[in-house]
Amino acid sequence: MKAVAISIFLFLFSLQIQALEFHSLSKLKPVEVSFATENKTFIAFHLTLNRPEMLHSDLFLKVEYLIGKDTLNDYLYVNGEDYSGIIKEMFLESGEKVIANLYLNNNGIDLIPEIEGKLEVSKGEEDQPESDAGIFRFTGTIWRSSELTIFRISKNDTDPKSLVLKLALTENFEFDSLFIRAKIISPMQGILVINKDVAVNSEEFLPYSGKTLEIEFPELHIDKPGSYYLQLSQEYSDNRINGIQSVSWELR
């Protein structure tokens, strides 16, 4: 009986770590929830907010995800209504742990003392990122260093074409440049390895908006009919970069 009681306690304790109800939001003291896994798995973070009647402003929130040496920041906007929904999905490798810290991010407001909310994390669907022949979508807008995107490009005519990549970035992409490596197998040129350093932001301050980058490959000649294989990887020191929604290609 004692062993059973201990097991029940540990089970309830693990649930408390994975789901947390809170009654205030602060700029300084976060609402924190964590999740650790022994096996590879997809997880999802769900946020519920019931606004107090006296709160007349919209809510701006920051969610900080800590995974090993990586720190990912998402900025959320909640209008003048209650909120309930999934705010982040991600993939964890075996033995990894993620800590999510939820902060208030309103200008001029340091604390909202009366608010009913819950931040919880659970296992998500065991599924791969959505993709088709021309587009690859990243789970939770996170591109992991071990995650390779591979496209097969078929060409049936002899008209000269140029390859253009389109990368859709969200407002949570925090870098001034995008570093990628393309490995291309061409029936005309064999194997090409091309590094790209693409400017994302030239403004003094990072704009809070998404954008789509187009990357051209003048080094690659696509004239001959056949199959061209394209493998892409991100080239950052971090294991994960945030704010990459999808990558697609086009022949022009």
Amino acid code (one letter) for 174: E
pLDDT of residue 136: 95
d(CA 100, CA 118): 13
pLDDT of residue 205: 64
Please choose, from the candidates 70, 75, 91, the residue with its C-alpha nearest in 3D space to the C-alpha of residue 140. 91
- Name the band, by pLDDT with cuts 50, 70 and 90, for residue 49: very high
Q: Could you tell me which residues come within 8 angstroms of residue 104 by beta carbon, excluding any fewer than 6 positions away?
A: 25, 26, 27, 59, 60, 61, 62, 110, 111, 112
pLDDT of residue 52: 80
134-189 per-position pLDDT tens digit: 899 999 999 999 999 999 999 999 999 999 999 999 999 989 899 999 999 999 99
Looking at the fold, whether 153 and 61 belong to one and the same domain comes out as no
Residue 14 pLDDT > 80: no
Q: Could you tell me which residues come within 8 angstroms of residue 135 by beta carbon, excluding any fewer than 6 positions away?
A: 246, 247, 248
Residue 15 pLDDT > 50: no
Report the domain count for the chain. 2
Residue 202 pLDDT > 80: no
pLDDT of residue 51: 83
Looking at the fold, whether 244 and 146 belong to one and the same domain comes out as yes
CATH number of the domain that 206 lies in? 2.60.120.260
Select the more confidently predicted residue: 250 or 124.
Answer: 250
Average pLDDT, rounded, for the chain: 88
Mean per-residue pLDDT for 88-117?
95
Of 69, 94, 123, the residue at which a domain comes to its end is: 123
| Residue 95 DSSP code | T
Are 190 and 184 within 8 A, CB to CB?
A: no
Mean per-residue pLDDT for 83-100?
96
Looking at the fold, whether 184 and 222 belong to one and the same domain comes out as yes
In a domain, 224, yes or no: yes
Looking at the fold, whether 119 and 139 belong to one and the same domain comes out as no
In a domain, 36, yes or no: yes
d(CA 74, CA 136): 21
Per cent of the chain over pLDDT 90 is: 76
In a domain, 128, yes or no: no
Residue 129 pLDDT > 80: no
Looking at the fold, whether 104 and 140 belong to one and the same domain comes out as no
Looking at the fold, whether 72 and 160 belong to one and the same domain comes out as no
pLDDT of residue 204: 65
Of 92, 123, 154, the residue at which a domain comes to its end is: 123
Looking at the fold, whether 110 and 148 belong to one and the same domain comes out as no
Looking at the fold, whether 142 and 97 belong to one and the same domain comes out as no
Mean per-residue pLDDT for 55-59?
82
Looking at the fold, whether 101 and 179 belong to one and the same domain comes out as no
* Range of 5-14, 72-81, 139-148 with top mean pLDDT: 139-148
- Name the band, by pLDDT with cuts 50, 70 and 90, for residue 125: low
217-230 per-position pLDDT tens digit: 999 999 999 999 99
Domain membership of residue 58 as a residue range? 2-123
Residue 10 pLDDT > 60: no
Amino acid code (one letter) for 247: V
Looking at the fold, whether 41 and 69 belong to one and the same domain comes out as yes
Of 69, 100, 123, the residue at which a domain comes to its end is: 123
In a domain, 26, yes or no: yes
**Cα–Cα distances in Å, from 104 out to 24, 166, 250?**
9, 33, 41
pLDDT of residue 126: 57
DSSP 110-135: -EE-S-EEEEEEEE----PPPB-SSE
CATH number of the domain that 48 lies in? 2.60.120
In a domain, 130, yes or no: no
In a domain, 161, yes or no: yes
Looking at the fold, whether 74 and 110 belong to one and the same domain comes out as yes
Looking at the fold, whether 157 and 187 belong to one and the same domain comes out as yes
In a domain, 79, yes or no: yes
In a domain, 129, yes or no: no
What is the pTM assigned to this prediction? Answer: 0.87
